[in-house]
Structure 1
Amino acid sequence: MSGPKVVRIVTREEILAICEAHLQRLATAFERWQTQAGRIGELSEADRAAAVARHARLCALLQQDQLRELQKAVPIEIDFLERDLEEREERAIIRATQKRQQQRRVHENAATLLKALQAKPGLATRELQQEISELAQGASREDADALLAKGFALLATAPGQETLGAGQHALAQQLKSDAPAPSLADWINSQPLDSSRDVRLLRIDRHIAELQLLQGVQAAEPFVLRLEKAEAESRPQTHNLLLDSLVLDLAHATRLYQQQRAHFNQLQDLASEVAAFQDTAHQSLLEQVAGCEANQDLQQLSGLIEQCKAAISTHLQAQAAIARRQAVLQGLASLGYETREGMETAWAQAGRVVLRKTATPGFGVEVGGKADTGRLQVRAVAMSHDRDKTRDRDIETIWCGEFQRLQALLKSQGDELIIEQALEVGQVELKVVATGEQEAIEAARTTQRTLG
């Protein structure tokens, strides 16, 4: 099929721009993974070294001209880094939650121990009772285990009425015997909380731990204070209402932050691509992005995301259009068609351009269409109605061979010229480019040169 054609062109420059954007996103994802995993204590040197090595191998694909492999491998690595960071954060949150649960058990057992010691005046020193009282009120101490062990040991040696629960009594008996004393921390962790409160408190501790880890202590502080108020409430109905309300509010807060952080990360990824363009037209947008935080309003983040996407799309389309026009014109020039200064701009302004060839006077090739979409129309044309029309079929046949040579030439340079639609030779009459049209095209070229 050698008649008029609709073709799609993908240039090497366009593919390189896509690969560079992939690598820019990878660099941002890697930096986020390394910083966050290190901050929460979930990054070993071996893990970091392995990620650095993978990153280097992927970057090397660009230098090795393995562009297709790069386009496949980089998104996979980015997805891996995101999922891996989620898993590391989850482990850190679980540890923090367990620590809060352990502290809760320490406080509850301190309260039980204090009550038992107060029931036996003189058994413990005033200083020990004061320290245990502080534990019961929520204080955190590094020697909490030792203080509780000391208090339970005193009770184990004291005669009189049973004041401990079954669990505390079992611990006291073990401390009293000659057998090795159990780890108090292990024993505390093994003791069940009130089943009616356990699940609810576990959820609260989980949410608070997550907020503290991901957002910081200040973000969780209002909820910590509400929890203290709920636990200090002696009226059961009010106590339960306070806990239920806290669970709901914490769940909403953590969900909202996760959404905000996802939007914020996406915005940072896009902004890094925009910044790489080094275009002053984007300065205001980048300043707005720089002023954002991870807990920014979702609507504001979404608006900036769309602006960044539009800026990237516009820039890439413009650059791709230039590369496509240059590739086609240079390819036709190598086949003997005449190209002049300003022809590329004339094409952009008029939507098409006609190239003549000395070897076939009176005929030429018209290339049209918007290069920013990648789809072009190419066809052989005549320069005058007053011509030998018996040559039209020969001209189209010649153009057929030249088009195949153009395809091969572009392919050798890393570009692709793909036929999407084509008509048979002679199926439609050869288009005539009137003299007036040619003069208008030439005038556009001249105007551009003058302005330049």
Structure 2
Amino acid sequence: MSGPKVVRIVTPAERKLIKKRWLTRLKNKIEHVKAYAIKHNMFTEELQDALDETLEYYQNISEDDYRKIEREVSGQIEFLDKEKKNLVKKVVKIRTSKWESFKNLKSTHNELRFLLKNKSIDFQDFDTPSNINEIEEYREKVDYLYSLLKEASFNSQTLTNEQKAIQERLSSGDSLLSVQKWRSNRPKVISRLKKLENALKEMYISEIPQNKIHEFMNRCAELEEEAPNYDLLLDSLTIQVAEFSKNQLALREAKEKLKTAIDQLESLELNLSFIDRWTDLLNSDNLNDVKDALEKAKYLYTEVSEKIIIETRRKAIKKALQNAGYEVNDTMETAWVENGSLVVKKAKNSLYGVEFMSPKNLSRIQARVVADKNRNNERSPNLDKNHEEIWCDEFYDIKTILESQNLSIVVDKAEEAGAVKMKEIALGNDYVKRENQSKKRKNV
């Protein structure tokens, strides 16, 4: 392929960074999955062995095999995300069941309390536990209240209509937030209470601290049912619950990303004392502060890591061009940095030159033969193609020199000579190639 080429140049420093970057992400993802599994009693020896084996395998891969690391580790992270989702599904199922059981218990508790008082039956009342995990102890207490009511109300074999209605209400488990009075507009109230309850249920399933759930429940209980704006107050409380949940989930995600960003910065082995302040934010509840630190950490990592590799890339490319016979002075190098373009040619009066274009970080370089747009009358299609074939030898020389400096050269794209219309630019007399043209003629 003798036409235009797009080349990726990877320095030893960059290969080292690539491995550290991906292994840091993989390690953090493994730790996250492991912590979640342990928290919910789902961590097994089989899972432990699989996670350890995965990390060890990629730790043992050479930095020189960076493309394998880039390709496969990203896939492993996606796989771990899927495994985490499977664990979450199991946890959601368990927590949903526990919530429903707790909801029914509290509904029954509220009704039993109301009915026992209404029938003047003595009983020792108790508060609803703030922690749903205390459900078994709570169940025993509710069962005791039911036994008192049953003993007093259902002591005959034939149930009255009132007794049947009581049993029906007790078994329905209307809402975790059941009101204590059977109001005339009960369906309307229950509809709003259901919305609030569902919002609280999502908080519990999402593992948001239960003290906040209990706090919202208490606020609901404190609302005056007879107030003219009771419905609006319920709606407002539901909105607050939803907003709080959204904030907490965003905070959790931001903290996880910040942890990875901090670890990546630390992998650069720099003495950055202010990182401790960002680490402290992993225990903060301020979403804006965490997100701000995350953006700064990501930006700093990108800037520092690129700075480390750009200079080695630039020096290596400059040396290769000079060894291949091109003159690259400081002025030209500065122009390349600022404009992303460098043009070299054989002699002052040369009809053709070679253009190197790249972004500022030199991550990709496009190299192609260019012609002087002011001298079209001196060119022909065959002459254009011939110069592109000559450029193939030049590229081979440069590639060999770069590889001798332990740089990895990957040709991302290459066109046949003559396949792409030759670019035309105004070639000045600033760039001169010394006469040591290689005699090789090889297609690369």
Fold match (TM-score > 0.5) = yes
Match of 1:216 among 205, 209, 218: 209
Deviations 1:263-284 (A, max 9, x none): 333333222212221223x432
Question: 1:35-434 alignment to 2 at 5 Å?
Answer: 35-39=35-39, 41=40, 43-45=42-44, 48-49=47-48, 52-53=51-52, 55-56=54-55, 59=58, 62-63=61-62, 65=65, 66-80=68-82, 83-84=85-86, 86-87=88-89, 90-91=92-93, 93-115=95-117, 117-118=119-120, 129-131=122-124, 133-134=125-126, 141-142=137-138, 143-155=140-152, 158=155, 162=160, 165-166=163-164, 168-169=166-167, 190-192=172-174, 196=187, 197-211=189-203, 214-230=207-223, 233-235=224-226, 237=228, 239-280=230-271, 282-285=272-275, 287-293=277-283, 295-298=285-288, 300-325=289-314, 328=317, 351=336, 372-376=361-365, 400-407=392-399, 414-418=408-412
Structure 1: unaligned runs, 5 residues or longer: 120-128, 171-186, 356-364, 381-392, 439-452
Q: Which residue of 1 aligns with 2:20?
A: 20
* Residue of structure 1 in register with 2:10 after alignment: 11
Contact 1:366 1:379 survives alignment (8 Å): yes
Counterpart AA for 1:284: F
Give the structure with higher Rg (CA). 1
Q: What code does the residue aligned with 2:152 have?
A: L
- Are the aligned partners of 1:62 and 1:70 in contact in 2 as well (CA < 8 Å)? no
Q: Displacement of 1:226 after TM fit?
A: 0.5
Deviations 1:320-372 (A, max 9, x none): 32443465467679xx7699xxx9999976859999xxxxxxxxx99897762
Q: 1:301 and 1:319, CA in 2 relative to 1: closer, same or farther beyond 3 A?
A: same
Whether contact under 8 Å (1:227, 1:243) holds in the other structure is yes
Quick one: structure 1 residues 244 and 369, their matched pair in 2 at CA, closer, same or farther if it must change by over 3 Å?
closer
Quick one: distance in 1 between partners of 2:430 and 2:145?
98
Note closer, same or farther for the CA distance 1:303–1:56 as it changes in structure 2 (3 Å cut). Answer: closer
Q: Write the letter of the residue equivalent to 1:26.
A: L
1:286-324 CA-to-partner distances (Å, cap 9, x unmatched) read 5235335453143x3343233222212212322332443
SS of 1:8's partner is strand
Distance 1:200-1:409 versus aligned 2 partners, 3 A rule: farther
Look up the equivalent residue of 1:301 and give its one-letter code. V
Cα separation, 2, equivalents of 1:322 and 1:155: 88
How far has the Cα of 1:27 moved from its partner? 1.9
Q: Give the drift of 1:80.
A: 2.2
* Partners of 1:104 and 1:244 in 2: CA distance: 22
Letter in 1 for 2:277: E
The answer on whether the counterparts of 1:10 and 1:374 sit within 8 Å (CA) in structure 2 is yes
Asked whether the equivalents of residues 259 and 279 of structure 2 are also in contact (C-alpha less than 8 Å), the reply is: yes
User: Using a 3 Å threshold, how does the CA distance of structure 1 residues 198 and 398 change in structure 2: closer, same or farther?
Assistant: same
Q: How many residues align?
A: 385
Q: CA offset at residue 101 of structure 1?
A: 0.6
RMSD value, Cα: 5.2
In the alignment, which residue of structure 2 is the partner of 1:184? none
* Alpha-carbon separation, structure 1, partners of 2:60 and 2:87: 25
Q: Shift of residue 147 of structure 1?
A: 0.5
What code does the residue aligned with 2:392 have?
Answer: C
Cross-structure match for 1:449:
none
TM-score scaled by structure 1?
0.63
Deviation at 1:236, TM superposition (A): 6.8
Contact persistence 2:18–2:70 (CA under 8 A): no
Distance 1:58 1:205 in 2: 47
- CA drift at 1:79: 3.5
Relative distance call for 1:151 and 1:56 in structure 2 (3 A) is: same
Change (3 A) 1:265 1:251: same
Unaligned segments of structure 2, at least 5 residues: 179-185, 345-353, 370-383, 435-444
Q: What secondary structure does 1:62 align onto?
A: coil
Quote the Cα distance in structure 2 between the aligned partners of 1:314 and 1:157. Answer: 77
Instruction: Give the match for residue 375 of structure 2.
Output: none
Q: How much does 1:81 deviate?
A: 5.1
AA matched with 1:273 = Q
Contact persistence 1:368–1:378 (CA under 8 A): yes
Cα 1:8/1:371, change in 2 over 3 Å: farther
Question: In structure 1, what is the Cα distance between the partners aligned to 2:360 and 2:409?
Answer: 14
Contact 1:267 1:304 in 2 (8 A): yes
Q: Which has the higher helix share?
A: 1
Q: For residues 266 and 92 of structure 1, what CA distance do their matches in structure 2 show? A: 27
Shift of 1:237: 4.5
**Any idea what SS the aligned residue of 1:283 has?**
coil
In structure 2, what is the Cα distance between the partners aligned to 1:204 and 1:47? Answer: 41
> Cα offset for 1:106?
2.9
Is 2:22–2:69's contact at 8 Å kept on the other side of the alignment?
no
Letter of the structure 2 residue corresponding to residue 264 of structure 1: K
Q: How far has the Cα of 1:431 moved from its partner?
A: 7.8
Change in CA separation of 1:84 and 1:136 when aligned onto 2, cut-off 3 Å: closer
1:429-440 matches, within 5 Å, as none
User: What's the offset of the Cα at 1:165?
Assistant: 3.6
Report if the CA contact (8 A) 1:207-1:250 is conserved: yes
The change in CA–CA distance for 1:136 and 1:216 in structure 2 (over 3 A counts) is closer
Measure, in 1, the Cα distance between the counterparts of 2:332 and 2:35. Answer: 48
1:443 aligned partner: none
CA contact (8 A) 1:107 1:135 kept: no
